[in-house]
Amino acid sequence: MSEPVRGYILDELEVGMTAEIERLVTAEQIDQFAQASTDYNPVHMDDAYARTTAFRGRIAHGLLPASFVSAVVGTKLPGAGALYLEQTLSFARPTRIGDTVTARVRVKSIDRESARVVLETTALVNGEPALEGEALVRVPRRRRGAAAA
């Protein structure tokens, strides 16, 4: 194949398959997330204010580590072509500048009739569970463009 495989199709998926990415969280990423989301909550932006809160310092938006999970879903497992239907998120601990986030996806179940796949989605912060949840995606049955080859 001359074209890169952009994502898994249904027949290629098996329960138990996993994928992950590791990301170092930077102040720049938090600033970019604030600009994209227009969420300038001072606990994310203003370290002096954040120090007066229970967090005792600036923390990332909760959806930033969630977006790393979403990056795994959209680019690795199942990858491009999958349609995101649902995501649940349970936040256990905050993410700070300098933290290493490991975003992990594991295929939990596959409904081959409907082409719907349940994924366990997790983010660890410095190895500790920070975010748990599940995603429901619909996966393509065949690779687009193959018929045109």
Contact string 82-121 vs a copy of itself (x = CB under 8 A): -xxxxxxxxx------------------------------
CA distances to 6, 42, 104 from 131, in Å: 26, 22, 10
Please give the backbone phi and psi of residue 136, each rounded to the nearest 5 degrees, phi first: -115, 125
Nearer to a copy of itself, 74 or 108 (CB): 74
Contact string 34-53 vs a copy of itself (x = CB under 8 A): -xxxxxxxxxx-------xx
| Biggest CA pair distance of the chain | 61
Instruction: Indicate whether 33 belongs to the interface with a copy of itself (CB under 8 A).
Output: yes
> By CB neighbour count within 10 A (0-12 exposed, 13-18 middle, 19+ buried), where does 75 fall?
middle
With contact defined as beta carbons under 8 Å apart, do 15 and 26 qualify?
A: no
Return the residue of 11, 12, 15, 32 that touches a copy of itself, per CB under 8 A: 32
- What is the smallest separation between the CB atom of 133 and a copy of itself, expressed in angstroms? 9
Site residues (CB under 8 A) for a copy of itself, limited to 66-85: 66-68, 70-71, 74-75, 79-81, 83-85
Return the residue of 1, 54, 147, 149 that touches a copy of itself, per CB under 8 A: 54
Taking CB under 8 A as the binding criterion, the range among 10-18, 57-65, 105-113, 121-129 that sits at the site for a copy of itself is 57-65
Can you tell me the distance from the alpha carbon of 90 to that of 49, in angstroms, rounded to the nearest whole number?
A: 25
Can you tell me the distance from the alpha carbon of 143 to that of 140, in angstroms, rounded to the nearest whole number?
A: 7
Please give the backbone phi and psi of residue 138, each rounded to the nearest 5 degrees, phi first: -110, 130
- The DSSP symbol for 66 reads H
Which chain residues interact with a copy of itself by CB under 8 A? 6, 21, 23, 29-30, 32-33, 35-44, 52-54, 61-64, 66-68, 70-71, 74-75, 79-81, 83-91, 144-145
